[in-house]
């Protein structure tokens, strides 16, 4: 969608609750998955006959299987605490983008078929029969949720709209209505090993090119290995790190850190993707298949440790599910956590004096940090609560002299999604992405104007891609976004120790 086809929201001085505009985003929906994308994942190729009953049946099956899903549907008391917490509501004013209203799209059907009140007195409890109108709203508005969990932080019952949104997408897939972007990507990972469909020769070429560039730049022969048997570390990183800007600068940084640590490492062409889009579609089956590629690669290469690169939802899946999905990992070195985040690896190295960083190398920058929602709220790192915030800040502060925080209402646990997470990073949702980025853009603009911030560091591939695309809509340069390990890469003094 071209810039001119929608109005970019005005950046205000303070976060403001927008006026309600009924149906403001009712036209927004992603492209539907084609028949071959669906069949490859084992879903019906198109909306099946009797889809209404089948969708309701699937919902009941999930409510029986996942207690959290049922509790989230039953527990809401309509207190309203979540209504103004979603970036998509703040950026669009569409009332169906209020988290409670988004939940209610599914809850109204659940109540009708799975609660006594809904069966007997539907009108009194807001219960409705499944209908095409409701189903169409599911497709629209469950694809206007980036599953960021911000609303759940403010809900007194901890109701997680992200889980409801994942469940809705799984139900839609099961009756033949899938989203093209996510399902096509999941299929590519099953077939080739990464989201991009990048084959081994292209991967090898890219990594060889990085080796040449880094050696030319630093005079040091830093290795960027592929499929090396017996390497200590298997790096599992988002495939965007292999080619996109500023992601690739982060990958260059990881290589320099491993080099400096004296740790041998490799990427695997079989598991050349940290991202696991099956999280977004709520499918444990596909999440397992993607995660299991990592296990197969680790066994095949005989590595001792697994380290994840900068990718928010990949870390969410790894942190929360890797052990249950693809464990046990008893063949790895028990001295290290499984999985380990590159931020933990670098932080640890800094603490041990194993790396010499010269922050003056980044003196052309005033840096702030964007906490990626999946790292902030859906996972942790390190050993103490809050280390997922402390570690990236410690790594950044060791690499730059000038660091500024954004408004605390928009960082750490309260961070706003970039606007492109949850399987929404697709051009057919550009309007939603631009509008959903508003709260982050406002907070960023504030520190740009007040503190002269020039760069915003991020540790998620989706955030980096999304910001690169939307910053120009708000009058800021796409190159303001940097990888955290890009800052490390600039500051690292190869061949020296603290
Ligand atoms: S999970 Fe995030 S995107 Fe979804 S409703 Fe809640 S705040 Fe909005
Ligand atoms: S904050 Fe929680 S309980 Fe209150 S309306 Fe939102 S989802 Fe319901």
Per-residue pLDDT of 220-271, as tens digits, reads 999 999 999 999 999 999 999 998 999 999 999 999 999 999 999 999 999 9
Which tokens hold the place of 172? 């839609």
Average pLDDT for residues 52-57, to the nearest whole number?
A: 98
76 lines ligand 2 (CB under 6 A): yes
161 lines ligand 1 (CB under 6 A): yes
105 lines ligand 1 (CB under 6 A): no
Q: Interior CA angle at 421 toward 284 and 84, to 5°? A: 110
Give the pLDDT band (50/70/90) at residue 91. Answer: very high
Atom 7 in ligand 1: residue holding the nearest Cα? 86
Residue 18, classified by CB atoms within 10 Å of its CB into exposed (0-12), middle (13-18) or buried (19+), is middle
Distance (angstroms) between ligand 2 centre and the Cα of 157 equals 7
26 lines ligand 2 (CB under 6 A): no
Task: Say yes or no to pLDDT of 82 above 50.
Answer: yes
Task: Say yes or no to pLDDT of 498 above 60.
Answer: no
Give the per-residue pLDDT at 194: 82
159 lines ligand 1 (CB under 6 A): no
With contact defined as beta carbons under 8 Å apart, do 301 and 266 qualify?
yes
Atom 4 in ligand 2: residue holding the nearest Cα? 79
Taking alpha carbons only, the member of 350, 430, 337 closest to residue 398 is 350
Got the DSSP string for 315-337? HHHHHHHHHHHH---TTS-TTS-
Taking alpha carbons only, the member of 137, 139, 177 closest to residue 30 is 139
Distance (angstroms) between ligand 2 centre and the Cα of 8 equals 29
Give the per-residue pLDDT at 104: 98
Q: For the domain with range 3-30+47-175, which CATH number is right: 1.10.287, 1.10.1060, 3.30.420, 1.10.3470?
A: 1.10.1060
120 lines ligand 2 (CB under 6 A): no
CA 376, chain centre distance (Å): 11
Average pLDDT for residues 59-63, to the nearest whole number?
A: 97
Q: Is 254 helix (H, G, I), strand (E, B) or coil?
A: helix
Give the per-residue pLDDT at 192: 87
Report which DSSP code applies to 239. Answer: G
Per-residue pLDDT of 321-359, as tens digits, reads 999 999 999 999 999 999 999 999 999 999 999 999 999
Task: Say yes or no to pLDDT of 2 above 90.
Answer: no
Q: Is 456 helix (H, G, I), strand (E, B) or coil?
A: strand
Task: Say yes or no to pLDDT of 453 above 70.
Answer: yes
From first CA to last CA, the distance across the chain in angstroms is 50
CA 123, chain centre distance (Å): 38
Ligand having the closest approach to the CA of 162: 1
The rounded distance, in Å, linking the Cα atoms of 176 and 34 is: 10
Residue from 15, 81, 88 whose mutation best tests the ligand 1 pocket (most atoms within 8 A of CB)? 88
Distance (angstroms) between ligand 2 centre and the Cα of 59 equals 21
How many Cβ atoms from other residues are within 10 Å of residue 157's Cβ?
A: 15
Q: Return the ligand 2 atom nearest residue 78 CA.
A: 5
Task: Say yes or no to pLDDT of 36 above 60.
Answer: yes
Distance (angstroms) between ligand 2 centre and the Cα of 196 equals 38
Ligand having the closest approach to the CA of 421: 1
103 lines ligand 1 (CB under 6 A): no
468 lines ligand 1 (CB under 6 A): no
Q: What is the dihedral of CA 373, 378, 382, 384, to 10 degrees?
A: 110
With contact defined as beta carbons under 8 Å apart, do 232 and 263 qualify?
yes
Task: Say yes or no to pLDDT of 418 above 50.
Answer: yes
Q: Look over the chain and give the mean of its residue pLDDT values, rounded to a whole number.
A: 96
Residue from 68, 73, 75, 81 whose mutation best tests the ligand 2 pocket (most atoms within 8 A of CB)? 81
Task: Say yes or no to pLDDT of 191 above 60.
Answer: yes
Q: Write the CA distances from 373 to 156, 238, 241, integer angstroms.
A: 19, 16, 19
Give the pLDDT band (50/70/90) at residue 181. Answer: very high
Give the per-residue pLDDT at 496: 62
Distance (angstroms) between ligand 2 centre and the Cα of 68 equals 15
Counting residues of the chain whose pLDDT is more than 90, the rounded percentage is: 95
Atom 5 in ligand 1: residue holding the nearest Cα? 99
The rounded distance, in Å, linking the Cα atoms of 39 and 397 is: 48
Average pLDDT for residues 161-182, to the nearest whole number?
A: 98
Give the per-residue pLDDT at 112: 98
Task: Say yes or no to pLDDT of 164 above 50.
Answer: yes
Give the per-residue pLDDT at 30: 98
Give every strand in the sheet of 265-266, ordered side by side.
265-266, 233-236, 305-308, 340-341
Give the per-residue pLDDT at 497: 55
The rounded distance, in Å, linking the Cα atoms of 84 and 30 is: 24
Per-residue pLDDT of 357-377, as tens digits, reads 999 999 999 999 999 999 999
Domain ranges of the chain: 3-30+47-175, 192-404+453-491
Ligand having the closest approach to the CA of 86: 1
Give the per-residue pLDDT at 58: 98
Ordered alpha helix ranges (H), 199-283: 200-218, 247-261
381 lines ligand 2 (CB under 6 A): no
Whole-model pTM: value is: 0.96
Give the per-residue pLDDT at 430: 98
Give the per-residue pLDDT at 188: 92
The rounded distance, in Å, linking the Cα atoms of 40 and 180 is: 12
Which tokens hold the place of 300? 């095949």
């Amino acid at each position: 969608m071209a810039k001119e086809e929608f109005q970019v929201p005005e950046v205000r001085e303070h976060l403001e609750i927008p006026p309600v505009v009924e149906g403001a985003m009712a036209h927004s929906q992603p492209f539907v998955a084609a028949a071959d994308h669906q069949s490859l994942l084992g879903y019906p190729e198109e909306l099946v006959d009797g889809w209404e009953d089948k969708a309701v049946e699937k919902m009941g099956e999930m409510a029986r299987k996942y207690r959290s899903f049922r509790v989230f549907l039953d527990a809401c008391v309509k207190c309203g605490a979540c209504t103004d917490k979603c970036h998509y509501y703040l950026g669009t004013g569409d009332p169906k983008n209020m988290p409670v209203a988004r939940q209610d799209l599914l809850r109204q059907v659940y109540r009708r078929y799975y609660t006594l009140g809904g069966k007997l007195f539907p009108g009194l409890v807001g219960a409705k029969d499944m209908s095409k109108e409701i189903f169409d709203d599911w497709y629209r508005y469950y694809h206007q949720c980036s599953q960021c969990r911000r609303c759940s932080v403010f809900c007194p019952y901890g109701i997680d709209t992200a889980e409801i949104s994942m469940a809705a997408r799984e139900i839609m897939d099961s009756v033949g209505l899938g989203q093209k972007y996510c399902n096509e990507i999941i299929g590519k990972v099953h077939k080739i090993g990464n989201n991009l469909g990048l084959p081994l020769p292209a991967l090898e070429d890219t990594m060889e090119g990085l080796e040449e560039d880094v050696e030319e730049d630093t005079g040091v022969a830093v290795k960027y290995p592929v499929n090396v048997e017996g390497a200590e570390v298997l790096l599992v990183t988002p495939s965007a790190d292999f080619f996109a800007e500023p992601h690739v600068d982060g990958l260059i940084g990881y290589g320099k850190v491993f080099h400096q640590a004296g740790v041998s490492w490799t990427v695997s062409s079989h598991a050349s993707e940290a991202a696991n889009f099956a999280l977004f579609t709520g499918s444990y089956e596909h999440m397992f298949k993607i995660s299991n590629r990592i296990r197969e690669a680790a066994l095949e290469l005989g590595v001792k440790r697994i380290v994840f690169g900068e990718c928010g939802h990949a870390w969410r899946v790894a942190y929360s599910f890797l052990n249950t999905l693809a464990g046990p990992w008893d063949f790895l070195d028990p001295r290290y956590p499984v999985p380990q985040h590159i931020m933990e690896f670098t932080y640890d190295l800094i603490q041990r004096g194993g790396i010499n960083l010269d922050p003056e190398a980044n003196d052309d920058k005033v840096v702030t940090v964007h906490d990626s929602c999946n790292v902030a709220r859906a996972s942790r790192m390190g050993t103490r609560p809050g280390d997922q915030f402390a570690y990236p800040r410690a790594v950044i502060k060791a690499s730059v002299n000038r660091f500024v925080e954004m408004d605390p209402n928009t960082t750490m646990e309260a961070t706003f999604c970039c606007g492109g997470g949850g399987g929404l990073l697709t051009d057919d949702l550009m309007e939603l992405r631009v509008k959903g980025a508003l709260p982050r853009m406002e907070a960023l603009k504030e520190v740009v104007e007040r503190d002269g911030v020039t760069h915003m560091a991020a540790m998620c591939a989706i955030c980096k891609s999304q910001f690169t695309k939307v910053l120009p809509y708000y009058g800021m340069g796409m190159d303001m976004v940097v990888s955290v390990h890009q800052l490390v890469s600039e500051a690292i003094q190869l061949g020296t120790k603290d």
